[in-house]
């Protein structure tokens, strides 16, 4: 399977704990995106990378959230001191940066439940 891979698929944590999610993009894609989706809403942009450079962060993104893509391949999204409002589906997507760059391919997501 050469699609976008996200781990874990589900994460249950207690309020105040830190969590980290991993995303492995399609191998030839140099752009990687993180989105968050809550019930009844469309995915909401969080941040994106081109290679290892983080090019944009949503102004809605709390400073408890941090993302890295250290070698321009996989990426991690960390949430510190989780709150119940962080409960959501976290989606990762990847794309090329030229040609069909507008088409993003999504992973299956990590569902976070904060108790």
How many Cα atoms sit within 13 Å of 110 on the Cβ side? Answer: 26
Calpha distance 25→66 (Å, rounded): 18
What residues line the site for another protein (CB under 8 A)? 4, 6, 33, 35, 40-45, 48, 55-56, 91, 93, 102-109
| Least distance from another protein to the Cβ atom of residue 87, Å | 16
Tell me the β-bridge partners of 60: none
| Least distance from another protein to the Cβ atom of residue 94, Å | 11
Residue with tokens 């993180």: 34
| Least distance from another protein to the Cβ atom of residue 17, Å | 24
Calpha distance 28→101 (Å, rounded): 12
| Least distance from another protein to the Cβ atom of residue 18, Å | 24
Q: Among residues 82 and 104, whose Cβ is nearest to another protein?
A: 104
Q: Among residues 14 and 40, whose Cβ is nearest to another protein?
A: 40
Q: Among residues 44 and 68, whose Cβ is nearest to another protein?
A: 44
Calpha distance 60→57 (Å, rounded): 8
């Amino acid at each position: 399977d050469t699609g976008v891979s996200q781990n874990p698929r589900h994460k249950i944590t207690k309020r105040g704990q830190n969590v980290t999610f991993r995303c492995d993009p399609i191998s030839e894609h140099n752009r990687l995106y993180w989105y968050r989706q809550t019930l009844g809403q469309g995915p909401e942009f969080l941040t994106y990378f081109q290679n290892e450079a983080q090019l944009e962060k949503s102004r809605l993104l709390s400073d408890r959230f941090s993302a890295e893509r250290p070698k321009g391949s996989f990426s991690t999204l960390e949430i510190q001191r989780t709150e119940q409002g962080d409960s959501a589906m976290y989606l990762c997507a990847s794309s090329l940066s030229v040609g069909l760059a507008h088409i993003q391919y999504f992973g299956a997501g990590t569902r976070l439940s904060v108790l």
